[in-house]
Amino acid sequence: MNVALLSESPADEAALRELVTGVLRVRPRFIAPGFRARGWPNVAQVLPSVIRHLHFNTDADALVVAVDADDSVVHGAAHERPGYFHPHCRMCQLRAVHRQTTKKLPPARGRERLLRAVGVAVPAIEAWYLCGRDPAVTEAAWVEGNARGARPYSRAELKQRVYATDRPSLAHEIDCALREVERHRADSRRLEHEFPGFAALAADLRAARDRPPNFLPQPL
């Protein structure tokens, strides 16, 4: 399976490679180099051109896109209703951009379309890193705290807990990220259970691996 990555930083990309490998239980071939966007809304803005490039010029089967939720609306079960779309939910937005972009593209390189695996880290990817180390950090804790008007932690606090500094160098960020995701690479179930925004990415990836007939019949 050939997987491309679109992320917000080189550290995120390093971590995502391990997380994707953990979900698939085998390391896919990653399309190099990974694609980078400068945070939100740049990710959604560059996504159509990244999809078109991968579709026509590479053998990518799936594109993994992962972003931080920051203060946006958290994707929930209500958003999964057919035809539903929440304009302030990044999961809904990224899925919609993929859907709208791919439906206009003709088949290319033996496949009908590039599949997508979208993840949203609530509120930031550092929360995923802390999963299994800090039981207070879960997507539900963030959603419930916001509903009560009392956030359980800030994004800055999460970064401090992961990096032990508020200004990590890129090398330090990558070291810390890789150290933490090692837990999830061996077994991603806890991360999927506590972070539905990661579970959605994992489900997309497995669906892409166990692909429905995305590939066109080969002529004999």
Applying CB under 5 A, the residues found at the interface with Zn ion are: 75, 79, 86, 89, 91-92
Name residue, tokens 């010029």: 57
Closer to Zn ion at the Cβ: 81 or 103? 81
Residue 174 β-bridge partners = none
Q: Let me know: does 36 contact 66? Beta carbons within 8 Å.
A: no
Which residues lie below 8 Å from residue 152, measured CB to CB, with a gap of 6+? 136, 137, 141, 142, 145
Q: How far is the CB of 219 from Zn ion (least distance, A)?
A: 40
Closer to Zn ion at the Cβ: 79 or 161? 79
Closer to Zn ion at the Cβ: 84 or 215? 84
Q: In sequence order, what E strands does 11-114 have?
A: 29-30, 35-36, 62-68
Q: How far is CA 52 from CA 29, 93, 188, in A?
A: 19, 17, 30
Q: How far is the CB of 80 from Zn ion (least distance, A)?
A: 8
Of the candidates 95, 180, 97, the one whose C-alpha atom is nearest the C-alpha of residue 131 is: 180
Closer to Zn ion at the Cβ: 124 or 176? 124
Closer to Zn ion at the Cβ: 9 or 93? 93
Q: How far is the CB of 192 from Zn ion (least distance, A)?
A: 17
Q: How far is the CB of 98 from Zn ion (least distance, A)?
A: 13
Closer to Zn ion at the Cβ: 76 or 107? 76
Encoded tokens for 10: 């080189």
Q: How far is the CB of 105 from Zn ion (least distance, A)?
A: 24
Q: How far is CA 94 from CA 7, 90, 100, 117, in A?
A: 12, 6, 10, 10
Q: How far is the CB of 92 from Zn ion (least distance, A)?
A: 3
